[in-house]
Chain A
Amino acid sequence: MRVIIPSALRSYTGGQSEIEASAATIDELLRELDRRYPGFRFRIVDEQDSIRPHVKITINTEIAGSLDAPLRSDDDVAIIMAFSGG
């Protein structure tokens, strides 16, 4: 699957705005990204395993409701810095 990386997280990915990965759920995907890019996951998921308030993750443009959301190999996943009123 294709994963779109927001500018705020590209310091972790060496500047890459898109990366390829495979995972069965959002949680599995973020753990895989954290293995590749240490520190990545904690910036967008807190210690109680909640997606941080101003971060959204979409699957084919639909907002994923939780880290348990399932993924398919041809999905487009985007990590988005949410609009927060300004």
Chain B
Amino acid sequence: MKQTKAKPRRAASGRARKPGVALLVATRKGAFVLRSGADRRAWKISEPLFLGHIVHHMVQDPRDPRVILAAARTGHLGPTIFRSTDFGKSWSEAQKPPAFHKAPEGRTGRVVDHVFWLTPGHPSEPGAWLAGTSPHGLFRSQDGGATWEGVDGFNENPKRPLWCGGDPTPDGPKLHSILIDPRDRDHLYLGLSSGGVLESADGGHDWKTLIQGLDVVAGFDASDQRVHDPHCVRLHPLAPDRLYQQNHCGIYRLDRPSEKWVRIGRNMPKAVGDIGFPIVLHPRDPDTSWVFPMDGTEVWPRTSPDGKPAVYATRDAGHSWRRLDLGLPRENAWFSVKRQAMSADDLDPVGIYFGATHGEVWGSRDEGKKWACLARYLPHIYAVETARLPR
């Protein structure tokens, strides 16, 4: 993409033209970028990026919209991170990707299987990024993603076995949902699947657990952090004391300084339940969020309940939920949406997007009232992140 000057372009009317929206779609077989104008009526898909690579996450840097990082590996080759400074026109590979310390002689060391999650750093730290890996690992870059170092306060913490010793998820244990308090760059949250939610007040040197109020699978002890599975945790950017969570066992809200999660998913229709992977927050209204429920009954099919996919939204912080399925398939549609594969833009009204496991990208430009398929026939989708097209 041709880079433009920072001065905003102006429409014929003289008003500044709103920048367009892009969707960064990461899949099991490469990545794609969908582009649209600010009206979000027509979308154009790119050629595949990193074709054949397993791309778990692709994220824009809000501090410099030209920068995108992509976490990738292949079936044979080890994990790495690619970085673009021209919004995907060209890419360079990390000189030192996330990797655990080499173990002392005679001991078995951990090996990063894949980088699962990318989070741009606090606005006060240009070039800083955090990454979560499988198996559980937390890594930091201070140079825009070129080199990465382990966060020893997590990776080497003596309490790590208490957090990370549970049953791994089917595709390997994952550290995800790395959240930075916009008021305090040292105040962090993260999610462990499995392992619960952790909070740090000192930039990641030490951590405490936040699992009060969370249910666990019947037969486990809820006081054992290792059996907690927060699928996706979000912090509201304008009300950072409010967190939401889509868990393996329900949908929750947490209003700090309380440390007890409230299961707001109990207000979902019983026939649908409150199991799923993603949760998405309204960029301006802390009471509004969206989820994409999946079937968590019997053997956990992880499909749309009853073959009828739908987004559910709450406008009152989880006291009530509304089904939003206009435009979505009405029957015999058995897909689901993974934890990173649903996101919102920051326009008004808010655009909501999700990528499904069967390779379709769906979008709504009216906060979920009406849905349209934006792309199909893509590989299994792992992540969909919104981005602002650079001016």
Interface residues of A (CB under 8 A from B): 8-9, 38-39, 42-50, 52, 54-55, 81-82, 84
Contact = CB atoms under 8 A, between A and B. Distances in A.
Interface in B80-104: 80, 93-95, 97, 99-103
Interface of B: 74-78, 80, 93-95, 97, 99-103, 108-112
The 3 closest A-B pairs by CB, nearest first: A47-B99, A43-B77, A48-B109
Contact of B74 (A8, A38, A45, A47): A8
Given A47-B100, A47-B102, A81 B76 contact: yes
A42 B73 CA distance: 11
Contacts of B94: 39
Given A46-B111, A47-B102, A47-B112, A52 B95 contact: no
B75 A54 contact: yes
Choose among A39, A49, A55 the residue with the greatest number of B CB atoms under 10 Å from its CB: A39
By secondary structure, the A interface counts as: loop
A6 to B, nearest CB: 8
Contact of B76 (A45, A50, A55): A55
A8 B77 contact: yes
A84 B203 CA distance: 41
Given A47-B109, A47-B111, A47-B112, A52 B99 contact: no
25 contacts: A8-B77, A39-B94, A39-B95, A43-B77, A43-B78, A43-B80, A46-B78, A46-B111, A46-B112, A47-B100, A47-B101, A47-B109, A47-B112, A48-B100, A48-B109, A48-B110, A49-B102, A52-B76, A52-B77, A52-B78, A54-B75, A54-B76, A55-B77, A81-B77, A84-B75
Contacts, number: 53
Nearest to A82: B76
A54 B76 CA distance: 5
Choose among A8, A43, A52, A55 the residue with the greatest number of B CB atoms under 10 Å from its CB: A43
A84 B75 CA distance: 9
Choose among B74, B76, B94, B103 the residue with the greatest number of A CB atoms under 10 Å from its CB: B76
Given A39-B95, A49-B102, A44 B111 contact: no
A47 B79 CA distance: 11
Contacts of B76: 8, 52, 54-55, 81-82, 84
A45 B76 CA distance: 11
A82 B74 CA distance: 12
Nearest to B112: A47
Given A8-B74, A47-B101, A48-B111, 7 more contacts: A39-B95, A43-B77, A44-B78, A48-B103, A49-B102, A55-B76, A55-B77
A42 B111 contact: no
A50 B93 CA distance: 21
Nearest to A49: B102
Nearest to A38: B95
A8 to B, nearest CB: 6
B109 to A, nearest CB: 4
Contacts of A38: 93, 95
A42 B77 CA distance: 8
Nearest to A46: B111
Contacts of A45: 78
A44 B77 contact: yes
A55 B76 CA distance: 6
B262 to A, nearest CB: 41
A11 to B, nearest CB: 9
A77 B195 CA distance: 43
A10 B78 CA distance: 15
Nearest to A52: B78
A45 B78 CA distance: 8
A48 B102 CA distance: 5
Contacts of B93: 38-39
B95 to A, nearest CB: 6
Contact of A42 (B75, B80, B109): B80
A43 B99 CA distance: 11
Contact of A50 (B77, B101, B111, B112): B111
Contact of A39 (B75, B80, B109): B80
A42 B97 contact: yes
